[in-house]
Amino acid sequence: MEGEGAMRFSKALRETLSGVDQENWKDRLDDLHREHGTWQKVADHLGANKRTVERWRFGYRDKHGNRKQVADKTVRDHAVPKVRAGWKGARTAQLGSVDWSDMFVVGWMETSGTPSRRQNMRVGQYLTGEDIEAIGNAYLAGDDAGVDRAMDRFLSDTYTQTGDAHLGNTEKLEF
């Protein structure tokens, strides 16, 4: 029986890649900087002032010249929501921010002749460049069905080598 909270692989991928929280917002801001090239372009993308973005990332100097980080409340209330909104639209940066060789999936897989059963799959080490490209291109195009087809093709041809594997619902996806 498929677990509660399970979803299609494409939705799990979208939620995993687009997530920004109190723990990873600086990494996502750095990824946006790598994609856009300058802090000014990142600020424009986020709809914020360049100085504000730099203060979020690097802190500031108080009136005594001491280096300080912005307050957690400021980060939570202002930085994280802006970075989250900017990150959701940056699919290329999202794809570039993960190590595909660490991909781990918990989901329901079936092959012909066997009932669907829950699998814990550390599949990253088996992904080929073509598999990553197929999943990535479908993700960039916003084609959820294409993402699911690419994942099923990977499971069928590379991972199980049965030619007929299908990933049902995904309970967990990590990189």
What residues contact residue 108 under an 8 Å CB cut-off, 6+ apart?
2, 6, 116, 117, 118, 119, 167, 168, 169, 170, 171
What residues contact residue 29 under an 8 Å CB cut-off, 6+ apart?
42, 53, 56, 57, 79, 83
Question: Distance from CA of residue 29 to its chain's centroid?
Answer: 14
Strand ranges across the sheet with 117-121 = 117-121, 104-110, 166-174
Question: Distance from CA of residue 5 to its chain's centroid?
Answer: 18
Name which of 110, 119, 94 is nearest 171 in CA terms.
119
Alpha carbon separation from 54 to 2, 30, 41, 70, 142 (Å, rounded): 45, 11, 12, 11, 31
Looking at residue 33, what is its pLDDT?
A: 93
pLDDT in tens, 125-168: 999 999 999 999 999 999 999 999 999 999 999 888 888 888 98
Determine what percent of the chain is predicted with pLDDT higher than 90.
61
The domains of the chain, with CATH numbers, are: 9-13+97-174 (no CATH), 19-93 (1.10.260)
pLDDT in tens, 52-74: 999 998 888 888 888 888 888 98
Determine what percent of the chain is predicted with pLDDT higher than 70.
97
Looking at residue 32, what is its pLDDT?
A: 93
Instruction: Using pLDDT thresholds of 50, 70 and 90, give the confidence band for residue 42.
Output: very high
Looking at residue 1, what is its pLDDT?
A: 46
